[in-house]
Amino acid sequence: MNKTLQITNRYCFEQLGLHRIMANHLPRNVRSERLLASLGFEREGYARAYLKIAGVWEDPILRTLINPGENG
């Protein structure tokens, strides 16, 4: 997954010209948290009661990766 996301992120920034990529994960999903952190995604906060999964409202953690090729 790490290698796939490296390629995808590079494509999004270099080919599509995106400024930022957002990825969210549930607090209990430690593997996703570690993966995103290892790719440079920064934690921005929570989206309270954002997703209803199996009848329960969940609060995912919001993470963002800003295009490293842009200034400012």
- Reported confidence tier of residue 71, pLDDT bands at 50, 70, 90: low
Please give the Cα distance from 8 to 15 (Å, whole number).
10
pLDDT tens-digit series, residues 38-69: 999 999 999 999 999 999 999 999 999 999 88
Tell whether 61 is covered by a domain.
Answer: yes
User: Which ranges constitute the DSSP H helices of 1-72?
Assistant: 2-14, 30-38
Burial class (CB within 10 angstroms; exposed 0-12, middle 13-18, buried 19+) of 16: exposed
Domain extent at residue 38: 2-66
- The reported pTM is 0.87
Q: Assign residue 17 the CATH number of its domain.
A: 3.40.630.30
**Does residue 72 lie in a domain region?**
no
Residue 72 in this model has a pLDDT that exceeds 60: no
Q: Is residue 10 part of a domain?
A: yes
Alpha-carbon Rg for the chain, nearest whole angstrom, is: 13
